[in-house]
Amino acid sequence: MVGYVVYGRGSFNQLDEILAPQRKANNPVIFLVDHFFENKPLASRIPLRGNDKIIFADVTYEPKTTYVDSLAQQLKEEFGTVSGIIGIGGGSTMDLAKAVALMMNNPGSSADYQGWDLVKKPGVYKAGIPTLSGTGAEVSRTTVLTGPTKKLGMNSDFTPFDQIVLDPELTADAPANQRFYTGMDCYIHCIESLEGTYLNEFSKSYGEKALQLCREVYVNKTGWDADSDDKLMMASYAGGMSIAYSQVGVAHAVSYGLSYLLGTKHGIGNCIVMNHLEEYYPSGVKEFKYMVEKNNIEIPTGICKGLSDEDFDKMINVSLGMKPLWENALGKDWEKIITREKLRNLYDKL
């Protein structure tokens, strides 16, 4: 779990104070910042000291192992080591910061650690400051990376941040569509966790709270205000805590196939899939469709049109490879329920 959590409007202003005890000798603190904030006011509020450095992270594509490796290599060559890596941005930047911090102290390529508990040494100090709410990447023990052969996280006890700063003010300017797609990632985490076979009281406690907050924001309210930012940031946190002790399900398992083949991004990909999952999550999908309509959001359709049989096979293979997700969703006999043919029919609809 994350060691230290600060929450509140304006808590970003405490960053200098938070980092002071972490500064070691002359080693700089590296701020890995979502490129959206280049030349934006937030960048000038970053508390730089000594030889600290801001690196604007290119999140045009979701994080790749090659990008993580090159950032870590660059920092090792320039500084030897660093006092810490601070990720400021959406889920992609959170994951990059976690992965780069780990690769500062672990040999080889980040691709060598895609899997479960393969990371053997703690990374350098790392802190996460989300600017979009929903993924739960700020609390999770993984960092989702696309590598040479797979899209899989570095899941380990060393992966969670040492500190997070949850300042809802930072999410205020996110475009409505992006905010919805990432927010729905949280809603979908809740549905998949609460309706999964891995459910337990820990996951349920957090999942129910996160779901309630998502509903307050997207179902009960019209329009967006500061209170919505406050609530969605806590929903993201609680949703992440919920899946930490359970698992995601069908929407994620199918969406990973889209993302692998077509590069579809996580939030929007989950929405595209959720739109067609009545069979698995009937009430969740009904509510999801209501929220889409109420919030005037467009969910793309027809994204699998014109794909070859070979392409469909690739997506099906990636999806069926997500065994724990299917087992959580459908139980121990999941392989009898979700056949290749059934999955092909589902991809055809997307």
Task: Provide the pairing of β-strand 144-146 with 151-155.
Answer: antiparallel
- Indicate whether 266 belongs to the interface with ligand NAD (CB under 6 A): yes
| Tokens 């060393």, located at residue | 158
- Taking the least distance from each CB to ligand NAD, the nearer of 28 and 326 is 326
Cα distance between residue 305 and residue 350, in whole Å: 8
3 exposure class (CB count in 10 Å sphere: 0-12, 13-18, 19+): exposed
Residue type, 332: K
Residues 280-319 that bind ligand NAD (CB under 6 A): none
Q: Give the DSSP letter of residue 160.
A: S
Residue numbers 58-77 binding ligand NAD by CB under 6 A: 59, 62-63
Stretch that binds ligand NAD, among 17-25, 118-126, 138-146, 286-294 (CB under 6 A): 138-146
User: Are the C-beta atoms of 256 and 323 separated by less than 8 Å?
Assistant: no
For residue 138, state whether it binds Zn ion (rule: CB under 5 A): no
Tokens of 299: 């969910």
Restricting to residues 117-136, which ones interact with ligand NAD according to CB under 6 A? 131-132, 135-136
Angle at 290 between CA 284 and CA 292, to 5 degrees: 100
Distance in Å, CB of 33 to ligand NAD, minimum: 10
Which residue is closest to Zn ion by CB?
A: 185
Nearer to ligand NAD, 173 or 279 (CB): 173
Q: Of the ranges 16-24, 83-91, 217-225, 285-293, which one interacts with ligand NAD (CB under 6 A)? A: 83-91
Instruction: Indicate which single residue of 62, 167, 169, 185 sits in contact with Zn ion (rule: CB under 5 A).
Output: 185
Distance (Å, whole) CA 21 – CA 18: 7
Neighbouring-strand partners of residue 347: none
- Residues at the contact surface with ligand NAD, assessed by CB under 6 A: 34-36, 59, 62-63, 89-93, 95, 131-132, 135-137, 140, 142-144, 170-171, 173-175, 178, 182, 185, 266-267
